[in-house]
Amino acid sequence: MADSRRNVTGHEGCSCARNHPREKNGGERETPLVENLTRKSQLQELELERTTKQLKEAIAIAGEETVKCKAAKEVIKSLTAQVKLSEYIGKKYVIPFFSPMHFTFVCPTEITALSDRYEEFQ
């Protein structure tokens, strides 16, 4: 029984058949190495397309977030008032209040303590 592997010279069962060309559609010959490289190239192209699509989506999302961030900064800027102590001279009493650790557990404690003593400042 002859091995189905066959090279260009017609060696039956040749162990080197993996390096010999095979016919592909249209009668052309292609080696397994070329087939393997072609397959790898196609897979890499698919991966590149997928990655490119993901990159475009990420760039679009980043652009949207940038716009949101800029809008948020503008809102914060419009809500922030610049206070000059000189504007209050002779008009009202001013008590400077400093909160050394904003957005920590210390901050609400100090604000609550000041609020609790508000009547004393009236």
Do both 54 and 81 map to the same domain?
yes
Task: Provide the β-strand partners of residue 107.
Answer: none
pTM higher than 0.85: no
Do both 25 and 45 map to the same domain?
no
Asked if 16 is an active-site residue, the reply is no
Confidence of residue 7 (pLDDT cuts 50, 70, 90): very low
Do both 114 and 58 map to the same domain?
yes
Candidate list 14, 16, 69, 107, residue with the active-site label: 107
Residue 57, by phi and psi: left (phi above 0), alpha (psi -120 to 50) or beta? alpha
Do both 82 and 38 map to the same domain?
yes
Do both 58 and 93 map to the same domain?
yes
Do both 23 and 41 map to the same domain?
no
The mean pLDDT value for 74-82 works out to 75
Dihedral (CA of 95, 98, 102, 106) sign: negative
Looking at residue 25, the DSSP 8-state letter turns out to be G
Q: Residue 48 is part of which domain span?
A: 31-121
Do both 73 and 110 map to the same domain?
yes
Do both 42 and 100 map to the same domain?
yes
Do both 54 and 4 map to the same domain?
no
pLDDT at residue 57 in the model? 94
Residue that wins the pLDDT comparison between 10 and 102: 102
Do both 1 and 47 map to the same domain?
no
Q: What is the mean pLDDT of the chain?
A: 75
Q: How many domains does the chain fold into?
A: 2
H helix intervals, 1-122: 32-79, 106-116, 118-121
The answer to whether residue 80 scores a pLDDT higher than 60 is yes
**32-64 pLDDT, tens digit each:** 888 899 999 999 999 999 999 999 999 999 988
* Alpha carbon distance 96, 85 (integer Å): 9
**10-31 pLDDT, tens digit each:** 545 555 555 555 555 655 666 8
